[in-house]
Amino acid sequence: MSKTLLRLLDWIFVLRPTLLIPVCTVFLCGYSKGEPELSAIQWLVFTIGSISMGGAVYLFNTIYDQRSDEENDKNLFLVKGIFTEKTLFIYALILSMVGLALLLWIFQKHFLTVLLGFLFTGIFYNIPPFKLKDRVGTDAAVAMLGGGLTYWCALRLSNAYPIETIIPYLFAFTGVSLWTQIPDIQGDKLAKKKTFAVHYGAKKTAIVGWIFILCSVLSSIITKEKIMLQASILTLIVSSKLIWNTDEFWAGLSSRFAIFILTLFIALEFPIYLFSLIIYYWVARIYYQIRFEIRYPTLFGTKWI
């Protein structure tokens, strides 16, 4: 791989696109409920705007979460000097402005909701003195809010109004977000973060997360949300081991499987999404192997890089 191409990919992968896949999946779950009327141009604008906003959120996270990310072997781009903190901050600001401008055009009537969502999931979630991601309870609550807003925006864009179908997704967002904290407990302790998992420990966090997934199953039955029902039942089965064995492997597998199976189900309804994921997977595997000498993304890892 040439140095020019590798450098270009650096600018893409520093946005942590693997973490954007769950966002895209949740959006498509909501989008599939109605009869959308977006033109090809509107789809393009929406896609660029959403990726810009999502990328900016993760850049702010990279900048303001350096200590714990280093302890948890996540902050690869800054640790290895591929980017400076100043460069990433400017990049995040540019993406924020571009994303907000483009989404203003798409969500004219609901732009205030989109703006508030960005402030909570991007600014208040990551940046001092708020740092909601480092507080017990607000860490999972903001994750739930972000996922809920993504689903809600998809419903509005597709002219769909089965708002009750959001309930099982809210439970699932919360449960999975709690599981993702378990592998980071030791690093977060060293960074003096007070996440739910740090405060209550791996065992209680695993159980509470499992209960939220169970609630997702029950609410999926009530709201007749077929895709989430199937995904949640399979996740309950796979994650049952986590209740007794709360090591990093099972915590990582449980959260990754939950996202993987939901993504697979919705991707089967959107072939272009499935094709895009396959292409991304192989490009990402090649990039991370060459740049960092690691196998990523993978279903069996413990860290979300």
At 44, is the pLDDT very low, low, confident or very high (cuts 50, 70, 90)? Answer: confident
Asked whether residue 271 carries a pLDDT value surpassing 90, the answer given is yes
Give percent above pLDDT 70 in the chain. 94
pLDDT at 121: 72
CA distances (Å), 275 to each of 31, 47, 93, 280, in order?
18, 16, 31, 9
pLDDT in tens, 153-204: 888 778 777 788 999 999 999 999 999 999 888 888 887 788 899 999 999 9
Asked whether residue 210 carries a pLDDT value surpassing 80, the answer given is yes
Asked whether residue 127 carries a pLDDT value surpassing 90, the answer given is no
Q: Which CATH number does the domain 3-292 belong to among 2.30.40, 1.25.40, 1.10.287, 1.10.600?
A: 1.10.600
Is 6 or 117 the better-scoring residue by pLDDT? 6
pLDDT at 71: 66
The least confident of 151-160, 201-210, 268-277, 282-291 is: 151-160
pLDDT at 305: 66
pLDDT in tens, 65-119: 777 777 666 778 887 889 999 999 999 999 999 998 888 887 777 777 777 777 7
Asked whether residue 207 carries a pLDDT value surpassing 60, the answer given is yes
Please state, rounded to an integer, the average pLDDT across all residues of the chain.
87
pLDDT at 2: 87
Of 150, 54, 133, 58, nearest to 99 by C-alpha is: 54
pLDDT at 273: 93
